[in-house]
Amino acid sequence: MSAQIVSGKEVAKSIKEELKKEIEVLKEKGIVPGLSVILVGNDPASHSYVKGKEKASKEVGIRSEVILKEESITQEELLAEIKRLNEDDNVHGILVQLPLPKHIDENAVINAIDPSKDVDGFHPVTVGKMMIGEESYLPCTPHGIIELIKRTGTEIRGKHAVVVGRSNIVGKPVAMLLLREDATVTICHSKTKNLQEITKQADILIAAVGRAQMITKEYVASGAVVIDVGVNRLESGKLVGDCDFEGVSEVAGYITPVPGGVGPMTITMLMKNTVEAAKRINGLK
């Protein structure tokens, strides 16, 4: 059997079309969703991510501004910039591109963002609301993963989902969202014993471990939905995921490619959260 490819590009495209229509309706009411992204320093990967966010904003009709700051910025100066954006009524979403320079405390920066504008879904208040099932902005990559699974037509309820990886950005929140969808969830990590035995039981397997091509077909049950979150560059320069795509494709029912799988969904969910924020801040939700 050969797995069906779940194209994040295609799913993202259809969600963006839906968002365009919502934004047109908001603009008729005089509301233009606004996203402000703070970028500190010259990290090429961060600049590339921010460019992608700018491009997506333009495509759907979100007003986007990128605030560039020197690597030498002090923590106090950065917090003052966030305070200014918190108080600006035209800004509905605030995002600080991570990682930040070593001399800045990332937690202090995340905590400074007004939770009502936390479109990245990283603030402790946002995470806490997600944990207890209250309405909140969902973190973009995990939310995108859930959308991808749903768009395969897979019923998540009652399925055994195995998440390999326990990061605060992907592993833990995606496990929580799967639980909210009534899956039975197992979280695995670098200290898990008999990893292969556990992943082999998964109806839905999320690979978010950050190790190139670690998940081979021996780890995957026949017909499983496999979502590959990893983005790793081989010495040859080729981008690959955490799964051995060719091998896993032989046994899985569905698989996301790298690139073109989870990546486009992350940015699209950021757009979705920004539109939600514009609605909530203007009392439309």
Residue numbers in the known binding site are: 165-167, 231
d(CA 165, CA 231): 14
List the catalytic residues: 53, 97, 120
Residue 189 — left, alpha, or beta (φ > 0 → left; ψ -120 to 50 → alpha)? beta
d(CA 222, CA 200): 9
d(CA 123, CA 107): 9
d(CA 218, CA 52): 35
DSSP bridge pairs for 188: 164
Q: Residues marked as binding for NADP(+)?
A: 165-167, 231
d(CA 200, CA 209): 16
Say whether 169 sits in a helix, a strand or coil.
coil
d(CA 219, CA 269): 29
- List, in order, residues 6 or more apart from 76 with CB less than 8 Å away: none
